[in-house]
């Protein structure tokens, strides 16, 4: 049979040669480092015979697909180790993930103290070079083989009728699995259990919680070491840690869970962002509203939020009360209905659309106690919220303008590591959505057309839409690798009807506006968290809570330093003076540790000449800068929101 290689070369091999044979024919090193083989685009075991003319490529342990195979195999090896140590445990599911793998077990109750024993057992299995044998079985045979593994049985029963059922045997472990796998466990040179966690069977909180073991594996020890060091560096930027070290926020259990308090520095950061966003939005045709932090439950009954989300709302009064006369209020979980009421205060003509309302709105959501996280998931937060009421023919242009605004913010903040997600409804879970399939079909196709036209790469996610419409979500990852939505733009054909919103068209007829719900910079707290992590605390000059720290050489310079501080404050720059009787080295160090972008030093010669010595965070020092020149440069950096500054 003919084997075609990725470079186009064609070689003749005997019928039923394996991927391993093919690799070996090229070099022994390749065979040794191969993880799997891709035959006509399908990944399969190296040991599987190839039966017909095929295009093949050898996947090595260093390829990302090969690393996935290795990690998936490592998950099996770990399962074998767990089964050896805890024979009563039950297997659930164990795939490779982006940076490792996990395996879920039932009837397993490990604590951290048990991890070393598992790692030892895995080492043994790696040394044993346990083979992975792929075996094809009938459904009835599979049900018999896995009769003691209830989760595998459930899975077999979930498989489509025509699915070929395979399992892998590695030592004493028999695991229902599609593969492919390594030839044997010997290639798993580096293995580590990362952490224990809980996870619901099939990801459904109505199901039993299983024990999940997260681990990672590499084909050599250095890769593992590099990975762990990379994790360590990333976690050093954890906003939850840095944010407190840099004196941006605190928490206190007497205030409550998910209720961080911003310090003066944190507050300055937030205010700077808010002013930036509000000014930019005003310049782009938004009008700002100020609406109440709470509303009667009737408002949310009309919008539909009450039925779906009342458990997640902070309610004042008895939410179960059937008495219509009893006043029941809710702290607002979003501002949409408030702004609709503002829109409805008077009639609108087609000529005045689009109406763009924005608000820096404080919102309250009763998040589940276990889901709160630093500044990222909190119970009171501030959203750069907005709603655009427009005609159907304006949707595209308005949506594009929103994207342009968002891109401007992302670019100004130098955020690059984000992705787009097209969030759609789930037709099989209609309880969560306004159940009008034709409307969903329409709104999703409109949004899809806009996204495709923009050329932006996006992933599609079923079941992630808002209950009233599809969304474009901008997703970012925190230092732990967990993805969150930072910004969302939603297309809503539904709520205008519920609130009886209208405009008069050119023919004098009443029409429903289409509503675009949008955030521009997201939730300020969450965005701040991601900024802290992305910058590692080193904010650009315009955003830094303290922009300039003035250091004095000796006490006689203090009056000049204080006078300079006042001068800087008057022009809107944020400066303070370190007048401690410490050495200059010490004061420089303190300022650098606080990541203050500009450090000024004043001694006798500076006072005499009306100059400053300017040090930037990178350690560069520029001497004898005229105070006025310094101020002018700072004002330009501040106004331009420059990411890099220099006083040379």
Partner RNA sequence: GCCUUCUUAGCUCAGUGGUAGAGCAACGCACUUGUAAUGCGUAGGUCAUCAGUUCAACUCUGAUAGAAGGCUCCA
Asked if residue 354 lies in contact with residue 382, where contact means CB atoms within 8 angstroms, the answer is no
Supply the minimum distance, in Å, between the C-beta of residue 606 and RNA: 6
Using CB under 7 A, pick the residue from 297, 517, 518, 574 that binds RNA: 517
Q: State residue 311 phi and psi, 5-degree precision.
A: -70, -20
Say whether residue 428 binds RNA (CB under 7 A).
no
How many residues contact RNA, by CB under 7 A? Answer: 83
Stretch that binds RNA, among 164-172, 288-296, 362-370, 450-458 (CB under 7 A): 362-370
Closest to RNA by CB, 215 vs 258, is: 258
d(CA 161, CA 115): 39
Distance CA 645, CA 641 (A): 10
Stretch that binds RNA, among 77-85, 301-309, 505-513, 631-639 (CB under 7 A): 301-309
Binding segment (CB under 7 A) for RNA, from list 406-414, 435-443, 446-454, 553-561: 553-561
For the bound state, the minimum distance from the C-beta of residue 593 to RNA, rounded and expressed in Å, comes to 5
Residue 643 CB coordination number (10 Å): 14
Name the segment binding RNA (CB under 7 A); options: 1-9, 110-118, 142-150, 274-282. 110-118
Q: Of 592, 560, 590, which Cα lies nearest the Cα of 578?
A: 590
Q: Which of 16, 445, 583, 632 binds RNA (CB under 7 A)?
A: 583
Quote the least distance from Cβ 202 to RNA, whole Å: 9
Residue from the set 16, 605, 609, 632 that interacts with RNA by CB under 7 A: 605
CA nearest 436: which of 298, 304, 297, 300?
304
Q: Which of 266, 374, 537, 540 binds RNA (CB under 7 A)?
A: 374
Q: How far apart are the first and last CA of the chain?
A: 69
Residues 329-348, interacting with RNA (CB under 7 A): 333-334, 336
| C-beta of 222 vs 589, nearer to RNA | 589
As a whole number of angstroms, the distance between CA 281 and CA 269 comes to: 18
Q: Which of residues 376-405 bind RNA (CB under 7 A)?
A: 377
The answer to the question of residue 467 lying near RNA (CB under 7 A) is: yes
Q: How far apart are CA 230 and CA 233, in angstroms?
A: 5
- CB nearer to RNA: give 408 or 480: 480
307 is a site residue for RNA (CB under 7 A): no
565 CB contacts (<8 Å, ≥6 apart)? 550, 575, 576, 577
| Least Å from the CB of residue 368 to RNA | 4
- CA distances to 450, 469, 471, 525 from 445, in Å: 9, 11, 12, 33
Measured distance CA(160)–CA(175) in Å, rounded: 18
Q: Does 305 bind RNA (CB under 7 A)?
A: yes
Quick one: which of 316, 368, 571, 636 contacts RNA (CB under 7 A)? Answer: 368
By CB under 7 A, tell whether 579 contacts RNA.
no
Cβ atoms within 10 Å of 495's Cβ, excluding its own: 24
Pairing of strands 209-218, 261-262: unpaired
State which of positions 479-498 bind RNA (CB under 7 A).
480-482, 485, 490
Q: Are 607 and 557 in contact (CB under 8 A)?
A: yes
Residue 184: both structure tokens together = 């044997």
Contact 189, 74 (CB under 8 A): no
Q: Which residues contact 633 (CB under 8 A, 6 or more apart)?
A: 645, 647
Scan residues 168-207 and list those touching RNA (CB under 7 A): 195-200, 203-205
Answer yes or no whether residue 623 interacts with RNA by CB under 7 A: yes
Which one of 268, 382, 527, 601 is in contact with RNA (CB under 7 A)? 601
Name which of residues 204 to 263 contact RNA (CB under 7 A): 204-205, 209, 211-212, 214, 238, 240-241, 244-245, 251, 253, 256-258
């Amino acid at each position: 049979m003919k084997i075609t290689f990725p470079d186009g070369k064609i070689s003749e091999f005997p019928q039923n040669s394996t991927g391993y044979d093919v690799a070996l024919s090229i070099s022994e090193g390749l065979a040794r480092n191969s993880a799997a083989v891709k035959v006509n685009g399908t990944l399969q075991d190296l040991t599987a015979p190839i039966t017909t003319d095929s295009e093949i490529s050898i996947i090595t342990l260093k390829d990302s697909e090969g690393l996935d195979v290795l990690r998936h195999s490592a998950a099996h090896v770990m399962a074998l180790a767990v089964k050896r140590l805890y024979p009563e445990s039950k297997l659930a599911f164990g795939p490779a993930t982006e940076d490792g793998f996990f395996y879920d077990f039932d009837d397993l109750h490990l604590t951290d103290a048990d991890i070393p024993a598992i790692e030892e057992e895995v080492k043994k299995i790696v040394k044993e070079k346990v083979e992975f044998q792929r075996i094809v079985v009938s459904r009835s045979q599979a049900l018999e083989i896995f009769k003691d593994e209830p989760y595998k049985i459930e899975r077999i029963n979930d498989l489509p009728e025509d699915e070929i059922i395979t399992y892998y045997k590695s030592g004493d472990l028999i695991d229902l699995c599609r593969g492919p796998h390594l030839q044997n466990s010997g290639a798993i040179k580096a293995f580590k259990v990362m952490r224990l966690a809980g996870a619901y069977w099939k990801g459904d909180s109505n199901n039993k919680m299983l024990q999940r073991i997260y681990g990672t594996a590499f084909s050599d020890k250095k890769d593992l070491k590099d990975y762990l060091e990379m994790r360590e560096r990333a976690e050093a930027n954890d906003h939850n840690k840095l944010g407190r070290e840099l004196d941006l926020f605190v928490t206190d259990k007497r205030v409550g869970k998910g209720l961080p308090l911003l310090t003066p520095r944190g507050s300055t950061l937030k205010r700077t962002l808010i002013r930036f966003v509000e000014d930019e939005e005003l310049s782009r045709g938004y009008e700002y509203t100020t609406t109440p932090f709470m509303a009667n439950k009737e408002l949310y009954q009309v919008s539909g939020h009450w039925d779906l989300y009342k458990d997640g709302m902070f309610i004042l009064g008895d939410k179960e009360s059937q008495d219509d006369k009893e006043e029941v209020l809710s702290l607002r979980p979003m501002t949409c209905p408030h702004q609709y009421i503002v829109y409805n205060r008077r009639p609108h003509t087609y000529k005045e659309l689009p109406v763009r309302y924005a608000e820096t709105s404080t919102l309250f959501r009763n998040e589940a106690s276990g889901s709160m996280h630093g500044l990222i998931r909190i119970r009171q937060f501030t959203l750069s919220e907005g709603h655009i009421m427009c005609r159907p023919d304006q949707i595209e242009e308005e949506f594009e303008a929103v994207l342009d605004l968002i891109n401007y913010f992302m670019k100004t903040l130098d955020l690059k590591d984000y992705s787009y997600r097209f969030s759609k409804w789930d037709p099989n879970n209609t309880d969560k959505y306004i159940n009008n399939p034709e409307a969903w079909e329409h709104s999703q196709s409109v949004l899809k057309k806009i996204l495709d036209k923009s050329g932006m790469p996006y992933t599609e996610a079923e079941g992630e839409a808002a209950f009233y419409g599809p969304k474009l979500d901008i997703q970012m990852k925190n230092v732990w690798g967990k993805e969150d939505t930072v910004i969302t733009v939603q297309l809503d054909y539904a709520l205008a009807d519920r609130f009886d919103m209208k405009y008069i068209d050119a023919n004098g007829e009443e029409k429903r506006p289409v509503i675009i719900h949008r955030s521009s910079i997201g939730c300020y707290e969450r965005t701040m968290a991601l900024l802290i992590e992305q910058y590692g605390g080193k904010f650009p000059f315009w955003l830094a809570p303290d922009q300039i720290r003035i250091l004095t050489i000796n006490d006689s310079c203090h009056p000049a330093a204080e006078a300079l501080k006042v001068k800087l404050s008057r022009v809107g720059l944020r400066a303070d003076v370190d007048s401690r009787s410490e050495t200059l080295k010490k004061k420089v160090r303190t300022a650098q540790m606080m990541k203050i972008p500009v450090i000024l030093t004043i001694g006798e010669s500076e006072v005499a000449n009306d100059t400053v010595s300017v040090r930037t965070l990178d350690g560069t020092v520029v001497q004898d800068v005229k105070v006025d020149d310094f101020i002018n440069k700072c004002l330009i950096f501040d106004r331009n929101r420059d990411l890099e500054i220099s006083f040379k």
